[in-house]
Structure 1
């Protein structure tokens, strides 16, 4: 029987599949297409240059043994790599690259590729902030477990984070989702996990990235026809930390690619750490298949710190900065600044700055002055639920009526105002706002915002509605 490229490669695949994990086989061998057989030289097509580099890096021995079984000791392998055309993103050309494996077979029947030990895994594309061939973790060493103060409000999250840091991918906390309000320490804990893993397991590849940057990289990869390289890059990370995962809301393409990356990492025992400002059950416009995976591991909440924890946080900050402050002043700040850690530290910085610039000592009078200003100037974060409640009360409706399908004019206007303020006063996407206010789409929210802007300019009564509601929502 005459051998063809397809028949030879088919036999090679049978051998390879028996010798590696199924997931690795699907990822790295199923996409390959046999192209040409010329004597003892088999040409195979691979999706990208990164793909070819990965095969040469990790599977060259296996490929060599499989080919020799089919084509003899003089077997050769040539890669037909699909490359983007510099002038037209819609066209592609191919680059033929011979395998680096040209050595004669050793006694065990396995060839060692040339310079095998010198090869380095390269970034498939330039990631903002990562300029070196070696992947930089993007971690802040100041955010560590030593500088994170434990209290009743964060004990579960801190303990789970420590467990993950000591045994990444080896606990039931995979993924670990840390959620809570602004300034409670989510990002700090996420970095602390990464910092400790790098210290304990220096060979592991750890990467911290915000969901916004992840999304932008994905968009760039789609524009540049390098989506496969984007996926393969993230699939080789040992510990992936994604901050503010709730911002994937409404981004269907990014969610889809993250779903596949997540599956690959999880199935291969890699660790995933996520942070969010809300629990999975409260995330809007995140696909159910993704939410279900967020729930596979542990969701640990960070709550507002109690008084004792706030005092400890302030004392720790002062100790690290080498500043002494009377105990009564520390206790006063802890008593009146209750919302989050970021505000506590903000008051301390203002106190130190005022005392230094004006050459004043720390006094209770100065403390009261700064705390009063800080509390007054701090904008209260409002939720979409809170906005709906305030607007409904103002128009003497219940929230169910506001969200209903009725087209009565005064109810429609109330609904539009709720959407308008949700767009102005929250970070939620249009799709998320619409989903929470009566399950409308993003186009309805956009129309509502434009309508409110127009009526505010032309209708005095409507302008009064906007002014009244603005006061109620900001004071």
Structure 2
């Protein structure tokens, strides 16, 4: 029976699969297609130049052995590289590689020069100079479902997370967007879903990344002319978890590339999990086409934990740390620290540390002293500068933008809100408020306060801005 490209390549794959990890095989060999067999040269098609360079960097030896077993020592391997991505570079080019001597690499019909052989940006998580074929998940195993206690405040988000972990890409919760305030467990839940998926489906490629780091990697890829490689790397992920997605605000280039990566993953049944401190409807300077995709799946909110949940969190934390504490002290902590889970756990750690270092028993008096100090130290000063920072952060802009002369509607509204809260929470005069918020006069501040009052009573979205900022400023 005469050999065909498919039969030769299938035999090569069988050999390769036996000699590398299942994850590496799935990631780097399953996407390859056999094209033709001519004059003892096997042509295979790979998805991108990045893919070709990765194979050459990491798998040339095993490819040589596998091909030699099938076609003998005169065997050659030809790569057909097709850029199948949304940026339109679809012109194929081939590289003929004599498997017997890789250093004599010859090229034919080459339209894209071979360069950038350094592996540092091909996998954005690889440390330069250290080869690592496996894509590390970047997950924290301590953030799991066992330590993420269920309560009224998080039941929907936690249940949706479990459903996704049981069937990633196979539920209607794709994407799953988890949103809520600071310290309520968004990052914890994102990691927990990823950890559970890795446990149930070890062959899947799971990756956690912050939106900030994603942006940095993208900028670096543009600088080094490796944008297509960057895109392809993220397109081979099975479960992508992006933390603080609202930080893409105002970053048009990063939003554009994430839009195309998101589309590819979603269309191919891959799972996307996002976290944000805002619901999609409240995100500012995010492209509408991207926001619409955030709404395709489920948006699940994490709220402030109720009393029963706070008690359960304290007891779970004590159990994990091997510490015993009387119930009346647990109840005291739960009653007095209501803001978020992070501050609650911080107070517990402070209490245990003081007890241990000072060799004192954990008593209600010690708990009261620690909580008083803790709350006092973490309480924010409500000054005009602080109000401007809180408002600027909420609307994802810097204070200079807030104070600028621009008449863009969302910036004007942010500035008016800062003036409104400065009048409400400080004893400063209208003239002083105006002077500190962009060198305005007292009439401008008075107009701003009236505008906020009017919009709060007529505009539901604007009223939510006022309510959210009031909570942040009175924590």
Could you tell me the TM-score, scaled by structure 1's length? 0.63
For residues 155-194 of structure 1, the aligned pairs below 5 Å read 155-194=155-194
Q: How far does residue 294 in structure 1 lie from its aligned partner after superposition?
A: 0.4
Does residue 313 in structure 1 map to residue 282 in structure 2? no
Q: Give per-residue Cα distances to partners, 1:39-92, cap 9 Å, x unaligned.
A: x999999962425667999xx9xxxxxxxxxxxxx998465899xxxxxxxxxx
Does residue 429 in structure 1 map to residue 397 in structure 2? yes
> Which residue pairs with 2:122 in the alignment?
124
> Which residue pairs with 1:270 in the alignment?
270
- On the 8 A contact 2:392/2:402 being kept in 1, the answer is no
Q: 1:269 to 1:473 in 2, by over 3 A?
A: closer
> Which residue pairs with 1:202 in the alignment?
202
Q: Give per-residue Cα distances to partners, 1:443-463, cap 9 Å, x unaligned.
A: 9999xx9xxxxxxxxxx9648
Q: Which runs of 5+ in 2 are unaligned?
A: 1-30, 33-37, 64-74, 84-92, 101-118, 419-429, 438-444, 446-471
Q: For the residues of structure 2 that align with 1:246 and 1:279, how far apart are their CA atoms? A: 9
Q: 1:49 to 1:210 in 2, by over 3 A?
A: closer
Q: For the residues of structure 2 that align with 1:342 and 1:76, how far apart are their CA atoms? A: 56
- On the 8 A contact 2:76/2:99 being kept in 1, the answer is no
> Which residue pairs with 1:378 in the alignment?
378
> Which residue pairs with 2:232 in the alignment?
232
Does residue 50 in structure 1 map to residue 69 in structure 2? no
> Which residue pairs with 1:361 in the alignment?
361
Q: For the residues of structure 2 that align with 1:123 and 1:205, how far apart are their CA atoms? A: 18
Q: For the residues of structure 2 that align with 1:138 and 1:43, how far apart are their CA atoms? A: 32
Q: For the residues of structure 2 that align with 1:218 and 1:307, how far apart are their CA atoms? A: 43
Does residue 329 in structure 1 map to residue 329 in structure 2? yes
Q: 1:432 to 1:128 in 2, by over 3 A?
A: farther
Q: For the residues of structure 2 that align with 1:325 and 1:137, how far apart are their CA atoms? A: 36
Q: Which moved more, 1:331-340 or 1:369-378?
A: 369-378
For residues 5-20 of structure 1, the aligned pairs below 5 Å read none
Q: Give per-residue Cα distances to partners, 1:163-212, cap 9 Å, x unaligned.
A: 00010000000000000011111111111111111111000000000011
> Which residue pairs with 1:138 in the alignment?
138
Q: Give per-residue Cα distances to partners, 1:361-385, cap 9 Å, x unaligned.
A: 1111111111112222224599xxx
Q: For the residues of structure 1 that align with 2:189 and 2:368, how far apart are their CA atoms? A: 31
For residues 7-46 of structure 1, the aligned pairs below 5 Å read none
- SS for the counterpart of 1:352 is helix
- SS for the counterpart of 2:183 is coil
Q: 1:275 to 1:358 in 2, by over 3 A?
A: same
Q: 1:433 to 1:337 in 2, by over 3 A?
A: farther
- On the 8 A contact 1:434/1:444 being kept in 2, the answer is no
- On the 8 A contact 2:284/2:396 being kept in 1, the answer is no
Could you tell me the TM-score, scaled by structure 2's length? 0.63
> Which residue pairs with 2:408 in the alignment?
439
For residues 269-288 of structure 1, the aligned pairs below 5 Å read 269-288=269-288
Q: Which runs of 5+ in 1 are unaligned?
A: 1-27, 30-36, 61-73, 83-93, 102-120, 392-416, 450-459
Q: For the residues of structure 1 that align with 2:320 and 2:387, how far apart are their CA atoms? A: 45
Q: For the residues of structure 2 that align with 1:438 and 1:474, how far apart are their CA atoms? A: 29
Q: For the residues of structure 2 that align with 1:434 and 1:99, how far apart are their CA atoms? A: 62
Q: For the residues of structure 2 that align with 1:81 and 1:265, how far apart are their CA atoms? A: 19
> Which residue pairs with 2:88 in the alignment?
none
For residues 333-348 of structure 1, the aligned pairs below 5 Å read 333-348=333-348
RMSD of aligned C-alpha atoms? Answer: 4.6
- On the 8 A contact 1:52/1:81 being kept in 2, the answer is no
Q: For the residues of structure 2 that align with 1:368 and 1:141, how far apart are their CA atoms? A: 33
> Which residue pairs with 2:12 in the alignment?
none
- SS for the counterpart of 1:246 is helix
> Which residue pairs with 2:291 in the alignment?
291
